[in-house]
Chains A and B, each alone.
Chain A
C-alpha cells in the first residue's frame, strides 16, 4: 500500500466513524422523541383538562391542577424576571457599555446561565420558604425568575447593541433626553429581539423541575392560592413517573407531551419573530 492509499483509507475510516456517530445521535433522538409522542399522545384525552389529581386507580383524574399551577408559576416568574432582565440589559448596552462593571455583570450572568438550577432552589428555600415556614407559589416563581433574569439580560444587551448608533444620535440631535431615546428609539428598534429573548427565557424556565421541588413543592389538587404549595407540570410529572401506579405514569407521559409541545412552540415562535424582524 502506498502512502497515498493509506491516507485515503484512513480518511475513509475517520469519515465513516464520524457519520456513524451522527447516526447514533440521531437514533437516540428519534427514540426519545418517539417514546414521548407515542406515550404522550396515547395518554391524551379531554379528562386531563377537566379533572384534577386523584388517588391512583380513580377514573376521574386529570392534570388540571398542574396545568393551571404551571401557568401561574411561569407567569408570575415572567412578571418578576422580565422587567429586571430588560432593565439590566438596558444598563449594559446603553449606560455601562464597555466599562469593567458591565463586563463583570455579563460574565457573571453567563456563568449563572449554566449554574445548577437545583442550587437556586436551595437558595430560595433558605430566603423564602424558611422565613415563611411553608412552601409557596411565590417561592417557586422567585426561583424561576432568578434563572430567567440572566437569559433576558444577555439577549436584551445583545439586541440593543444591534440598534445602529446613528439612530440614537439622530434622536439626541432632536433634543430628546436619554430615557426617551431608549424608550422610543432603541426599544422600538429592538422590539422583535427583546420579545424573542423573553420567549426563550420563558421556554427555558418552563421546563425546570429541580428549582421547584422544594420551593413551590407540589399538590395533587387544584389551587390558586399563591401562599400555598402549588402543583406544576414538571414536579407532577416527576412524582407520577416514579410512582408504581400505571394510571399515574400515563398521566406523567401526557404531562411530558403537553409541556414539550408548549416549550417547543415558544421556541419556534421566538425564532420566527426574530427571523421576521431581521428581514424587515
Chain B
C-alpha cells in the first residue's frame, strides 16, 4: 500500500518535469498567438519596434542575439581550445589544480556580476579604443565570451582527456612532437566531444541575459557598426517585460521568449544528442 503510494509519488514527480517543459512551450505559444496573428513573419523580418503605435518587429533583437553570440564564440573558441590544450597537455599537476579551482571560482560568480564588471570596467576601455558610447554589440560579445570561457574550456578539456594514453604514447614513440600528437591523435579522437562542448556553450550564450543586459544598450535598431548599441532577445525581455502596457506588447515579448527558448533548445539538443551522446552512453 505505502509501496504503491511511494512509487506513484516518484513517478508523478518524474513526469512533472516533462509536463512543465511541455507546459512552458504551450503557454508561451498561447500567449504569443496575438502577436503571431498580428504580424506573422513580419515579426522576424522587420526591425520597427514601436510600442507607442503597437508595432513590433523583432529583427534587431534576433540579429543582436545571433551577432553577439557569434562574436562571443569568435573570441572564446580559440582561447578555450588553447586553455584546454594547455591544461590537458602542457601544465603540471599543480597548475592544473590551481586552474581547476579558478574555473570553479568563475562558475560560482553570478552572471549579473560579469555584467556589472563589464559596465564599469570594460565598457570605458572599448569607448576609449573605438569611440562611441562603449555600450554595444562589441562589448556584449566580449563580456559574453569571458562569461562562457571557463565552461567551454572545462568541457573541452574533459573531452580531450578522454583520449586513451596508449594512443598518445604510441604517437610519441613514433617521434611525434606534442603538436603532432594534439592535431593527429587527440583532436581527431575527441572531435565530437570538442564540437559538442562548443555548441553547448553556444546554447548557453544565446540565452544569457544579465551579462549582456548591462552592456548592450537596449536600442531596437539593427547595428551598422560593431560598436553600435543594439539589443538582443534576452536584453529586450529583461528591460521591457515589467513595463509592457498593451496586450499586443506582452504578446510580442512572449513570442520573443518562445523564439529564444526554441533556438536554445535546438542548439542544446544538437550538442547533447548528436555530438555528446556517445561519451555519455559509454560510461
Interface residues of A (CB under 8 A from B): 7-8, 10-11, 14-15, 17-22, 24-26, 28-29, 31-33, 35-36, 83-85, 87-88, 90-92, 94-96, 101-102, 104-105, 107-112, 114-123, 125-127, 135, 146, 149-150, 153, 177-179, 182, 203, 206-210, 213-214, 217, 234, 237-238, 241-242, 249, 252-253, 256, 259-260, 263-264, 267
A–B complex contacts, Cβ < 8 Å, 19 sampled: A10-B177, A24-B79, A35-B121, A88-B14, A91-B10, A91-B11, A91-B13, A111-B265, A115-B207, A116-B261, A118-B234, A126-B28, A177-B3, A178-B6, A206-B110, A207-B110, A210-B209, A234-B210, A260-B108
If over half of A's interface residues share one DSSP class (helix, strand or loop), that class is named, otherwise mixed; here it is helix
Q: Which residues of chain B have C-beta atoms less than 8 A from A91's C-beta? A: 7, 10-11, 13-14
Docked pose: A83 CA to B13 CA in angstroms? 9
How big is the B interface, by class? 35 or more
Please name all residues of chain A whose beta carbon is closer than 8 Å to the beta carbon of B204 when the two chains form the complex: 114
Q: Are B108 and A241 neighbours in the complex by a CB distance under 8 Å?
A: no
The reply to whether A127 and B27 form a contact with Cβ atoms under 8 Å apart is yes
Q: Are A115 and B113 in contact (CB under 8 A)?
A: no
Q: Which of A25, A36, A112, A210 has the most CB of B within 10 A?
A: A25
Interface string of B182-194 (1 = CB under 8 A from A): 1000000000000
Given the known inter-chain contacts A22-B82, A114-B264, please indicate yes or no for A94 contacting B210, CB distance below 8 A.
no
Q: How far is the CA of A147 from the CA of B265 in the complex (A)?
A: 15
Partner of A15, one of B7, B9, B90, B214: B90
The 3 closest A-B pairs by CB, nearest first: A116-B207, A21-B82, A207-B110
User: Is chain B's interface secondary structure helix, strand, loop, or mixed overall?
Assistant: helix
CA of A112 to CA of B265, assembled, Å: 8
| A260–B268 CB distance below 8 A | no
User: In the assembled complex, which residues on chain A have CB atoms less than 8 Å from the CB atom of B2?
Assistant: 177, 179
Instruction: Please tell me if the beta carbons of B178 and A259 are within 8 angstroms of each other in the complex.
Output: no
List B contacts of A14 (CB < 8 A).
85, 178-179, 182
A96 to B14, CA, bound (A): 9
Within 8 A of A (CB), among B1-54: 2-3, 6-7, 9-18, 20-21, 23-24, 27-28, 31
Tell which of A83, A118, A267 touches B209, judged by Cβ atoms closer than 8 Å: A118
Which residues of the partner chain A approach B70 to less than 8 Å between Cβ atoms?
Answer: none
Cβ B110 vs Cβ A107 within 8 A = no
Residues of A within 8 A of B241 (CB): 121-122, 125, 213-214
B residues in contact with A126, CB < 8 Å:
27-28, 31, 254
